[in-house]
Structure formats: C-alpha cells, structure tokens
Amino acid sequence: MNIILKVSGKFFDEENVNNLLILKESVKELINHGFRVGIVTGGGNVARRYIKMAREVGVGEAYLDLLGIWASRLNAYLVMFTLQDMAYMHVPQSLEEFIEAWSHGKVVVTGGFQPGQSTAAVAALVAEASSSKILINATNVDGVYERDPRIYADAKLLPRLTTSDLRKILEISQSVQAGTYELLDPLAIKIVERSKIKVIVMNYRRLNKIINIINGEEISSVIEPV
Amino acid sequence: MNIILKVSGKFFDEENVNNLLILKESVKELINHGFRVGIVTGGGNVARRYIKMAREVGVGEAYLDLLGIWASRLNAYLVMFTLQDMAYMHVPQSLEEFIEAWSHGKVVVTGGFQPGQSTAAVAALVAEASSSKILINATNVDGVYERDPRIYADAKLLPRLTTSDLRKILEISQSVQAGTYELLDPLAIKIVERSKIKVIVMNYRRLNKIINIINGEEISSVIEPV
Amino acid sequence: MNIILKVSGKFFDEENVNNLLILKESVKELINHGFRVGIVTGGGNVARRYIKMAREVGVGEAYLDLLGIWASRLNAYLVMFTLQDMAYMHVPQSLEEFIEAWSHGKVVVTGGFQPGQSTAAVAALVAEASSSKILINATNVDGVYERDPRIYADAKLLPRLTTSDLRKILEISQSVQAGTYELLDPLAIKIVERSKIKVIVMNYRRLNKIINIINGEEISSVIEPV
Amino acid sequence: MNIILKVSGKFFDEENVNNLLILKESVKELINHGFRVGIVTGGGNVARRYIKMAREVGVGEAYLDLLGIWASRLNAYLVMFTLQDMAYMHVPQSLEEFIEAWSHGKVVVTGGFQPGQSTAAVAALVAEASSSKILINATNVDGVYERDPRIYADAKLLPRLTTSDLRKILEISQSVQAGTYELLDPLAIKIVERSKIKVIVMNYRRLNKIINIINGEEISSVIEPV
Amino acid sequence: MNIILKVSGKFFDEENVNNLLILKESVKELINHGFRVGIVTGGGNVARRYIKMAREVGVGEAYLDLLGIWASRLNAYLVMFTLQDMAYMHVPQSLEEFIEAWSHGKVVVTGGFQPGQSTAAVAALVAEASSSKILINATNVDGVYERDPRIYADAKLLPRLTTSDLRKILEISQSVQAGTYELLDPLAIKIVERSKIKVIVMNYRRLNKIINIINGEEISSVIEPV
Amino acid sequence: MNIILKVSGKFFDEENVNNLLILKESVKELINHGFRVGIVTGGGNVARRYIKMAREVGVGEAYLDLLGIWASRLNAYLVMFTLQDMAYMHVPQSLEEFIEAWSHGKVVVTGGFQPGQSTAAVAALVAEASSSKILINATNVDGVYERDPRIYADAKLLPRLTTSDLRKILEISQSVQAGTYELLDPLAIKIVERSKIKVIVMNYRRLNKIINIINGEEISSVIEPV
Ligand SMILES: Nc1ncnc2c1ncn2[C@@H]1O[C@H](COP(=O)(O)OP(=O)(O)OP(=O)(O)O)[C@@H](O)[C@H]1O
Ligand SMILES: Nc1ncnc2c1ncn2[C@@H]1O[C@H](COP(=O)(O)OP(=O)(O)OP(=O)(O)O)[C@@H](O)[C@H]1O
Ligand SMILES: Nc1ncnc2c1ncn2[C@@H]1O[C@H](COP(=O)(O)OP(=O)(O)OP(=O)(O)O)[C@@H](O)[C@H]1O
Ligand SMILES: Nc1ncnc2c1ncn2[C@@H]1O[C@H](COP(=O)(O)OP(=O)(O)OP(=O)(O)O)[C@@H](O)[C@H]1O
Ligand SMILES: Nc1ncnc2c1ncn2[C@@H]1O[C@H](COP(=O)(O)OP(=O)(O)OP(=O)(O)O)[C@@H](O)[C@H]1O
Ligand SMILES: [Co+2]
Ligand SMILES: [Co+2]
Ligand SMILES: [Co+2]
Ligand SMILES: [Co+2]
Ligand SMILES: [Co+2]
Ligand SMILES: [Co+2]
Ligand SMILES: [Mg+2]
Ligand SMILES: [Mg+2]
C-alpha cells in the first residue's frame, strides 16, 4: 500500500522543530502500518520572498516559478535529512527521476518539478506514478471549507466532498486571486480523477494522528475523485 | 529574437521525406532572418499505438503518458539528426534541461516533458523560458476553426482570435472527447497568457512560407494572449 | 543464477497484447525458479521506418543507428512499464549504466547501446557483465536453421550447434545482404565465446514454456560457445 | 582575463532589489572591460535558519553543511536568473561540474560544493580552476580590519596585507568562535597561496565601482598571496 | 554499525594480487560481523607519475590534483570490480553522490573528490556522512609514530593518541615537506573531531586481522577525537 | 573540416613530456589549418597492469575491459588538461556523450567507450559521428607493414593500402595472438568502410609534421576504405 503526503510550505514557515519531529514520527507510523511513503514539500515564505525579489528585477515567469521550486526543494532536503536512513537520499527533480528513485523501496521526498504547476500537482503526479490510492494534503487549516477559512472565520468544514464539489468551491473561494491556486490546482484535480486517487485534506498539527485520519476517525476532509 | 515551432505528431505519421526537408529549410530561413529557434515535436501515431498496447495490458495513466513522451522524443531525435550541425545535440527531458541546452546558442529540439500535459504545453513552457514572443503551432489543418474541421467540413477558419475565444471554441469543438485536448491545452493557454506569447496556428505544408506567415501574409490563425 | 532474455524487434511489430502478457508471465516464471532476469529489446519496424526516412534526407550512418537505438529503447520502456514493480525503473543507455542498474536486484530492461552493433551484441555484453551463463534469444522462428527459413521453407532446424558452426551458417545464409547480421553479429559471438555463455534461440510464441526450453525439453537451438 | 567574485550570504539577507541590480551592472562592467566572470554566492540567513532547525532535530554535521550549501545554491539561482543570457544556465555542484560549465564562455554562478568548507574556499577553488589571478570577496564591511569591525567599532582597515598577515588576524579576531571561519578559511588561503591569486576584500555596496576597486582607486583590502 | 576503510595508494603500487585478495576477505569479515563498509582508495604512484608529467608541461594545480583524483578512482574501480556483488556498482565523484550511493545498502568504493584535499579527508567526510564511528586508515606502516618511521628507523609507535597529539606530531614529522600531508590532513582532523570519529591507523598487511584490530588486540594506533 | 586523432597507449607509456608538448603543438597546427579536432587515447601499460592484477583475482572479462577503459580515460584527462582552453572540459564515456560534447565547437578528448572493442573502434565511431573524412592513428611505428615490424625487423612499410588489404595483413601478422587486435579491429574497419573514412597510420614522433603527413609528404601509411 503506497501513500503520498503533501506538506504545505506553511509547515516550514513556522520554523518549528516540533513540526519536524511529528512529521518524522508520522512517517514511522505509516511505515509500521504497512505503507510505503512519498513526501512532497511546498515552498512557503522562502519561495515567496525570492520570487518577490526576482520579480522586481525583471526576472520572467518561468524563472520565478523555478525559484519557488528550488525553495520547495530546500524544504525537501530538510525533510529528507530529518528522515535520514528511512529515505532514499536523492530529491528527484522530475517525475521520471521520481519513478527511478521510487524503485528503491524507501521514502522519497520531492519538492516542485516544473514551472506552471503547484506542488499539489506534483503530489498528484507522484501519487499516480506510485499507484497510491490516497494523497494526504497536510496544511494549516483543518480541511476544505465552503469558503476560504482565513477570510471567513465562520466558514463550515466539509468532512466529505467530491472533486467536482471542490472545483466549484475553489472557483468561488479563490476567485479574488485569479490564477493562484491553493489546496489543489486543475492539473492536480485532473490527475486524481483520472487515476481514482482519494485526497484527504488535514491540519499538519494533527500529523501525530495520521492513522486515525486515514481511518476517518479524526477531523479532516475526504475528497472522492469522480 | 527567439521563436518556438511546435510540430504536430501528424507531421511524422505521414512518413514523408519532403516534410522533413521543408522543415529543415524553414529552420534555415528563420535563422537567416535573425531568429533563434526551438522545436517541439508531437508524438503522433507511434505514441497512440504504444499507449493502446500498454493500456490493454493494464499499464497506469502516468506510464501511458510516458510512452507517448518517448514516442515524441523519437520524433525529436529524427528532427535533431536532420538539422545536424544547426542543432545542439541533446533532446532535453525537462524544462530545466531545456534551459541549460538553450544556453548553447543553437537550435534545441525537444519532445514531451511530463505526464498530464500535452506537447503544446511543452511548447508554451519552452517559449516562456526562452523569452520567445511567438509560438508557431504547425499542424495538419490551416489554423483554428469555429468547429473541428475534420468533423465539420464547412467550419470557418478564424484568421485572428484571442486566447479567451480559443478557450470557448475548444470547449465546444472538443467536448465529445472530454479530457483530450488538441491544439492547446489549459496549461498551454495559461502560460501564453501570463507571458504574453502570440500563438500562430498554421498548416505544416506551408512551412516553406514561414516568414510570410509570421508577417501575416499567409493563411493561418493568430491567437493573441489576453 | 542470472539470465538474459533478448526479445526480437519483430515481437513488437505484431502489436499483439498477448505477446506482452506472455512475456510478463515468463519473467515471473523465471524469477520463481530463482533467476535474476535482464531483458534486451530489438528495434523492429519502427526502427526501420525512422532509419529509412532519415537516410533519405541524408542523415549519416552513426545517426541512423542511433534512431534504431531510440526505437529499441521505446520497446524497452513498453516492457519495463508492463513489468512495473518487478523492474528497476531506468532504461540504461550504455553497459556502464546497465552495470549500475543491475546492482539494484530487480529486472533491468535495455534497448540498444551504440552505433555499429546489434541489440544481440548488447545482449551478449549484458550477459557477460551480469555473469549470466545463459542468453536466450527469443525471435519469430523456432531456432537456428541450416539456411534462412524465411527463404528456404524446407531448411532444417539445428537443435544443437557451436558458435563456430553458427559463424559458418551465418556466412552462407546471410551472404546476400552483406553486413546485416541477424541472430548474432560477430561482436556477440566473440563475447559469448570469451565468457562461455550458452545461447538458446527460440520462438517468442513459446515464451510460456521458457523453463522447459531452458531444460532442453522444447523446440529451440542451443549454441555452445567454443 | 578571468576573475571570480564571491558575494557574501549577507548580500541576500538584505532582500534588497538594488543590491541585485548593482551586481548585474557590475558584471556587465567587468565583461565590458574584458573579464570573464565567475560568481560564488554565500548562504546567509536562510542557511543559518535551516541549519538551526535541522540541528535541533538531531541531523548530523555533514547534512547541516549540505543544508547551508543548498541555501547558497538558492542564492546562486537568484543571481543566475537575474543575469539571464549573460550566464550559463547551470549551477555546478562540484569543481568538476564548474570546470565543464566554465568551458561555455559565459558567466558561471555557483553556491557551495562540499561539507567541511566555506563558500570562500569554493571561490578560491573556482578561481584556481579558471586561472583567475584575482578573487574579489564582496561582503558587508569595507575590507580586512585589524580586528572584527562588528565588535570593535574603532578597528583599523588594512588597505594591503599578505595571506600570512591575514592568518594571524583571523586567528585573533575570530578566536572566540573557534572553527567558524569568516572571510577566508584555511583551505581558501592554501589555494590562493599555491596558485598566486590576489584577493580583494570589498564592501558589496561599492560593487558599482568595481573597476576602480580592481585598479586600487577605491576603499578595499588587497591580500597578496605569499 | 558503519565503518570506513581508507586504503593507502601504496597498497596498489605493490601490484600484489595477495593484497587484493586479503582486502576482499577483510570486507567479508566486516560484513559478517555486522558492519556496513565504505572504502576510500588513495592514488599512489600512478597519481604521482601523471601529476609529474602534467606539471612539467605547465598544467595548473587544480588540474594536477584532478589527475591524482582520477588515478585514485582507477584504484577504486579495481577494488569495486574485485568485490563484485558485494559493492554498489558506481564510484561516487562527490560527497553528494556518495550519500546517494550509500542508500543502496551495499559496499561503496570511492577515490578522491576535490582538488585541495587528500583522500584521507575524503575518508573522513564519508565516515561522517555515513554516521560511521570508526575510520580505519590502512597504510604501509604499523601506525602513527613519534616521527616519520621511513626516515627514523628507531621511531616509537604510539598505540593510543588524540587528534591534538597527532596535530603536533604531523607538524614536526612532516615539517620538511610543508603542505604535503600524510596520514591525515587538517580537514580530515577537523571532521573526525567535530563528529567524534575514532581513527585507527594500521598496516594493510594486517588486514586479515581487521576484527582483532578493531577490538584493540593487534598492533595499530588508535586516535581519539578530542 | 573535421579530423580525428587516435593516440596509441604507447605514447603515454614513455612518460615523455616532449611527446605531450608536440601533441599540443600539432593540435594547434591542425586548428590553424582549419580543422576541428577530436582525440582518442589508448590505454597502454597502465591498462595492461590493472587488467593483469584484476584477472589474477578472478575479475570477469567485461570488467577487465572496463579497467582498460578507465586507464585510457586517465590518458584522456592528461591530454585534455594539457590542451586546457582549446578543449571542451568533459571526457565523454559513450558515443552519445561524445556527440553532445562535440556540439560545443572545441577539441573533444575521449578514451574507451565499451567492453569488447578497442580504442581504435572508438576512434572510428567518433570519426563517423563527427563527419570526419580523415582518421589519424598515431602509434610507435611508421605505418602499416606487411608483417608486424616489432617481430620482423625487415618488414616493408606500405605507403598506400586499402581496408581489404589491411584485413588480410592483420589476419597474418596478428594470428599468433588471436583475438587481440592492434592498429584497427573489425568494428573499426567496418565503420571506416561504411562511412568512407580515410585512415592514416603514422609514428607519433612525427606529430610535429602532421600537416605534411595529411598532405602525403611524409612517411606514413594511407588506408583507403573500400
Ligand atoms: N475553501 C477552502 N478551504 C480550505 N482552505 C482554503 C479554501 N480556500 C482557500 N484556502 C486556503 O488554502 C490554504 C492551504 O493551501 P496550501 O497548503 O496549498 O498552501 P500554499 O500556500 O499553496 O502552500 P505551498 O504551495 O507552499 O505548499 C489555507 O491556508 C487556506 O487559507
Ligand atoms: N476548432 C478547431 N480548429 C482547428 N483544429 C481543430 C479544432 N478542433 C479540433 N481540431 C483538431 O486539432 C488537430 C490538430 O491538433 P495537434 O496538431 O495538436 O494534433 P495532436 O493530435 O494533438 O498531435 P500531437 O499532440 O501529437 O502533436 C487538427 O487535426 C484538428 O482536427
Ligand atoms: N578582521 C576582520 N576584518 C573584516 N571582517 C571581519 C574580521 N573578522 C571578522 N570579520 C567579519 O567577517 C564578516 C564577513 O565575512 P563573510 O562575508 O565571509 O560572511 P559569512 O558570514 O561567512 O557569509 P557567507 O559564508 O554566507 O558568505 C564581516 O561581517 C565581519 O564582521
Ligand atoms: N609520524 C608518522 N607516523 C606514521 N607514518 C608517518 C608519520 N609521518 C609520516 N608518515 C608517513 O605516512 C605514510 C602513510 O601515509 P598514507 O597512507 O596517507 O600514504 P600516501 O602516500 O599519502 O598515500 P595516498 O594518499 O595515495 O593514499 C607512511 O608511509 C609514513 O612514512
Ligand atoms: N602489420 C603491421 N603493421 C604495423 N604495425 C603492426 C602490424 N602488426 C602489428 N603491429 C603492431 O601494432 C602496434 C600499434 O598498435 P596500437 O597503436 O593500436 O597499439 P595498442 O597496443 O593497441 O595500443 P592502445 O590500444 O593502447 O592504443 C605496433 O606497435 C606494431 O608492433
Ligand atoms: Co538529458
Ligand atoms: Co539506485
Ligand atoms: Co549539475
Ligand atoms: Co557518478
Ligand atoms: Co560524461
Ligand atoms: Co554544454
Ligand atoms: Mg499551494
Ligand atoms: Mg595520503
């Protein structure tokens, strides 16, 4: 049984050592429960700051995305070094490299792959290529809400929804910042749909309860591909 | 002045030596007119046949796409070897490899990059990374039509349109085969929009008139990014 | 116990799904009987068609061979993706890359390596480097005949012969098309001789009886190195 | 005439767009004056923060250094993308990769290479391999002082000194934090001595006067190898 | 339990087949006693001869060191091919490549990494990155002596010493040939100190007693990091 | 006009600095006369000694050849470093790597490629891939003789011969040491024949007269492909 864990860039922005220790424990837990684990890390603040600097000196879009990708890879190195012997010691830079790394039977950690797509799309591609049936998206909110919870404090959490529900919600909740996708971008949704991958959105502060979350016994949102 | 030329997989299906010779001449023409040229090749029938075989033995979606990518790379090798000294002798396998290859000042030829995206998306990414302001899509029809011209013989060619026009047309004309994008997929459109790249759709039988087409003096469709 | 299986390009020309399924089963069989398996794929029709096109536009010999090599690699990807978890997920492009891939303890699939040599030579090199004592050549005839069986319908199958017998037979049967070696080229023969590798030529339609063939209980030709 | 410019990690900590623009101009200036330029970037605060996090979760010394190296590479990407067409588009990860990249005749930008050595040592190695006779160390102070100027506000700047003077100064001025070398570490000094490379320490705020500094007409310290 | 074995270049100068056979046996012994083994090979006479030739035609210091590194890699290939299936079949060319190779669970053999450092420094870096607590330095003398035993036949062997003792001894015993470090160079000492790695210096003629030497039951010098 | 120069391993066995200086001058001469130059180096004594040691400890044929290849690469590094800025700074390890390196417009230096073939075959492959019409084989005798000149002091030099003459001579002159080809092996002859490459065999002591030799004004043997 294979599983992919996407860790939001916000996880690293907190510079919280406890976060890292819980992540390490949750990977051990998953392995003990018979899972093979792949991890995808977001870029977070370091990504945003480097992109901002570069944009101001006139660097083009493809290269701005690449700076974000390199920042996400820095986070991947941090996670990989934290996992040490559990991990295969190479951060793949494309899906083809991931597939080769995945052959080794250890945890593989990756950041971004390519301009024009989010690290959530990377996570979906990696889930598909590893025949994972579950993709866990660990972020700074408890799951998918009807509306962006950072803006609408009273937004309601959706424990279960479909990818087509999600499409509608993201259209509304993110309409203000056109083009900046959060949670899942269109490529990510297309991939999880075509390969029937269940997505669980959860709070990374609950990573210590990851088995419960997979079993549906803890707060989270489960997105069924349709 | 940099320019990207996307050659449809259908070009190679014809196994027409003349096609290759005209392509070579058109590249020389472009270079003589001061362009640096990048080329992206589609997969065509070889791609479709290998995907079909693999699907029937139960190979997963990511790997089906990779077979199509390797077929498109075979076409890239054919073009690269035909161009010989004009080309940098490496077919890049990701945008990062393309960027390094592009540093060499010669023609770079590439096939597909990643599952989940078309070679038209590759062409858009490559155009963006090379600061090309024009992306030429050479295919087996004369340009963009109101409706798919293979199905509706009377469909009207659109000499000028915007990317947002194109989005609507593709939704209608391709609705039957949901998920299979032709001409440009959503990622390709997103990229040409964000980096203001003009797309020209033309018939590859007119590659000998490529300069006229760039100058707007020959049958084709010009798609303005908006 | 290590074993190399060379699959003729003709196997892929048939675009026969059953072929692929039987190949997969035969690899499982071999593994169950304690073999570690390496596979080398020929180029077939796709190779010939691309070489023909390229030759007509004036591409040089080294590059024609490379097109054939890339076609054989496309076949290698098809086989590797069909085997999925049984295979190490990288198609080596040289003997040195093969040796590294072989370290991983899984099936390794490779196409051609270098201009100037056949994929049978690749198979011999790969057999030698993996200390395999048997090289199986699965093709579209039942074994080695006194004369080319496609031309002389009454040619007699040779159940046992030596490499020096083979040299003579190939000299006669292939004299018309000088330089085009079938079955084994001189490099392949040199390698199997110097490393004492037994070659079994068999029909790929009998891959489901591969263990019997290894045990000498089925139609095939066994070539002893001398 | 080849020259290497080492940019302190502190340059990037300021997140100052003007810094980047002046750096870009100074590279153009150097090229216009007939120099071929190599650039080495330090790691700065991002390096220190990732190392701190990783140390607290028990990551070993080699891997802490690697995190610092990856942070310095992120800075290298920022500089390389800012220089765009002036640069060869690959950040080398070892001296051997640098040497290959340097063959291309463009600016090469690199971060760290290996645990156990500073980016100043990288700069010295890169200067030696490129036959540069000058290595410029652009940092946040005006040059080498008798004592650490951040601690002793009245420390005197040394306009000229030898590497053996520097050894003594660094022993004293940095004795408190044994093992953490600033400006130049022992490997850097050994390399510039054995290959007779002159080191100029200058303030990166004066990069717009880089030609004057090379000509000895501006505030800086010149360190002669002995 | 991981362990690194550094084999002096002098070992290969003897062109003694017995040396190689005993080395192979000692690796088996270590594995049987539960160790995972890494090996670093020196350059020896081949290195010195190539460096001498190159120096006389005016090749620079960085490239002289690289010739020595390539000679040491030739020795690494000899050892790796001798170990055959026990080894991972790739000679890493940098610490990052070593780390990836080490993930494979087999013996990894490496020569030099970078100009400006000895293969003893490589051994220390590799010991640190593999969390080895013991680094064995197998050379042509019985251990560390008060003075260079090749010059002073009556020099006394030191069964136990600290890295700070060693620093003083090397300063004296090697003062004549300033800059040419034997046994351990400053980087090697720095690394073993910071990561608390015990170094055992022994004669490679005693490799057949390697377990006794690790247990302190045979002639050798044990250097404690302080 | 492209040209390939194969330098016998014996050239390096002499450890003669003058040899290297004359080689460097001859490359400059060729460049000044409008040639682009590729160089292939033999393995010589170092190859033979490492192969001998390895054979005695039971290393297999493929790996013995690889040791010879690595020795020839060591010679390639020596030549490449001697040529410095004239050369592209990478020693290719396969024909595909050579082709990419050759795109850079500089001298490319290579050693062996693959077990089972001589460095003369490498030189022929490299000549073909670079569209060279001349391949110069610089060795320790003055050209091709009727019989091996080391054995028969009175053997007569053949100023002109064809590849089919050469085949016969090599069969006779080398019959005693079956399987060990000198000058050209069968693959080398096949390649120069199919691509119509003229081979000139000359003494490397005359490299200072290389232009005269190309013009047929100096002692050498010219082998016409037929
Ligand atoms: N309907 C919604 N439900 C839940 N979260 C939402 C919704 N709409 C927007 N969001 C926002 O999505 C964010 C989580 O997205 P994600 O973890 O992908 O972060 P990110 O900023 O894209 O990080 P990175 O790409 O670096 O990993 C939340 O912080 C939340 O504010
Ligand atoms: N509105 C339209 N206008 C023009 N062509 C259309 C339209 N709708 C569908 N098509 C089809 O798009 C095809 C061209 O697409 P394209 O060249 O990208 O082919 P493809 O099959 O995607 O090949 P590849 O991906 O291998 O390059 C035409 O053959 C045409 O039939
Ligand atoms: N004698 C001295 N003269 C000048 N600077 C000194 C001296 N002693 C210590 N320093 C310190 O050295 C610092 C510059 O070192 P450097 O630019 O190498 O920074 P760094 O921290 O090593 O950055 P990085 O490694 O990320 O590039 C100055 O900020 C200064 O305070
Ligand atoms: N105090 C000392 N105690 C022991 N050996 C010493 C001492 N001082 C100098 N040496 C010399 O160090 C040598 C061993 O060093 P080492 O094994 O590193 O050899 P090397 O020539 O550096 O080989 P390589 O770098 O190729 O591995 C011995 O031959 C010895 O003569
Ligand atoms: N008929 C012949 N004419 C000339 N040389 C011959 C002939 N037969 C054998 N030889 C031998 O070929 C040798 C030259 O071959 P070559 O330069 O290829 O050497 P090599 O040993 O193969 O070296 P390497 O493979 O390391 O480059 C000469 O030393 C010569 O003795
Ligand atoms: Co590539
Ligand atoms: Co591996
Ligand atoms: Co690199
Ligand atoms: Co490597
Ligand atoms: Co290479
Ligand atoms: Co290049
Ligand atoms: Mg996101
Ligand atoms: Mg040493």
Rg (CA), chain D: 16
Residue B173 binned pLDDT confidence (cut-offs 50, 70, 90):
confident
The pLDDT of residue C181: 61
pLDDT of residue D177: 46
Please give the pLDDT value at position E178. 44
Ligand 4 atom closest to Cα of residue E184: 18
pLDDT of E226 over the 60 cut: yes
d(CA E28, CA E35): 9
Ligand-binding site membership of B12 (annotated): no
Work out the number of other CB atoms within 10 angstroms of the CB of residue E166: 24
Residues D13-33 have a mean pLDDT of: 97
Q: F30-45 pLDDT, tens per residue?
A: 999 999 999 999 999 9
Residue whose Cα lies nearest atom 4 of ligand 1: it is: A144
Residue type for position B211: I
Q: Check if D38 has its Cβ closer than 6 Å to any atom of ligand 3.
A: no
Q: Are C135 and C192 in contact (CB under 8 A)?
A: yes
Q: D18 vs chain E: nearest CA distance in angstroms?
A: 34
Phi and psi, residue F170, nearest 5°: -65, -35
Q: Is pLDDT at E177 greater than 90 in this prediction?
A: no
Is the predicted pLDDT of residue A177 greater than 50, yes or no?
Answer: no
pLDDT band at F171, cuts 50/70/90? confident
DSSP at D114: S
- Contact (Cβ atoms closer than 8 angstroms) between residue A39 and residue A110: yes
Residues with CB under 6 A from ligand 1: A 8-10, 42-44, 118-120, 139-141, 144-145, 147-150, 169, 173-174, 182-183
Q: Please tell me the predicted confidence (pLDDT) of residue E174.
A: 64
pLDDT the model gives residue A62: 98
Q: Which residues 124-153 on chain F approach chain D with CB closer than 8 angstroms?
A: none
The residue assigned the tokens 């074995």 is E5
Task: Report d(CA F120, CA F137) in Å as an integer.
Answer: 8
Q: Which residues of chain C have pLDDT under 70?
A: 173-181
Q: What is the pLDDT of residue F178?
A: 43
Residue A178 has pLDDT above 70, yes or no: no
Q: Which residue in F has a C-alpha nearest to residue D98's C-alpha?
A: F89
Dihedral (Cα; A98, A100, A105, A111), 10-degree rounding? -20
Pairing of strands E36-41, A108-110: unpaired
**The total number of residues written for chain F in this structure:** 226
- Note the pLDDT tens digit of each residue in A117-149: 999 999 999 999 999 999 999 999 999 999 888
Q: Is E1 exposed, middle or buried (0-12, 13-18, 19+ CB in 10 A)?
A: exposed
At F174, is the pLDDT very low, low, confident or very high (cuts 50, 70, 90)?
low
Please identify, by atom number, the ligand 5 atom nearest to the C-alpha of residue F119.
Answer: 25
Cα of F88 vs centre of ligand 9, distance in Å, is 19
CATH class of B2-224: alpha beta
Pick the more confident residue, C199 or D175.
C199
Per-residue model confidence (pLDDT) at position D174: 64
Q: Domain map of chain A by residue range?
A: 2-224
* Closest-approaching ligand to the CA atom of E113: 9
| Res E68: pLDDT | 98
Q: Lowest-pLDDT range, A43-52, D149-158, F200-209?
A: D149-158
Tell me whether residues E57 and F82 touch, CB distance under 8 A: yes
For F179-201, what is each residue's pLDDT tens digit?
467 899 999 999 999 999 999 99
Ion ligand 8 nearby residues (CB, 5 A): D 93, 97
pLDDT, tens digit, 9 for 90 and up, residues B4-55: 999 999 999 999 999 999 999 999 999 999 999 999 999 999 999 999 999 9
Read off the pLDDT of each residue in F38-66 and give the average, rounded to a whole number: 98
Task: Output the average pLDDT for chain E.
Answer: 95
Name the nearest CA neighbour of C7 among C134, C133, C137, C111: C137
CA distances from A164 to A220, B1, B95, C175 (A): 18, 43, 31, 66
Helical packing angle, E44-56 and E61-83, nearest 10°: 150
Confidence of residue B174 (pLDDT cuts 50, 70, 90): low
- Counting ligands in written order, the one closest to the CA of E220 is 4
Confidence of residue D176 (pLDDT cuts 50, 70, 90): very low
For ligand 2, atom 10, which residue shows the shortest CA distance? B148
Mean pLDDT is lowest, of A151-155, D2-6, D101-105, for A151-155
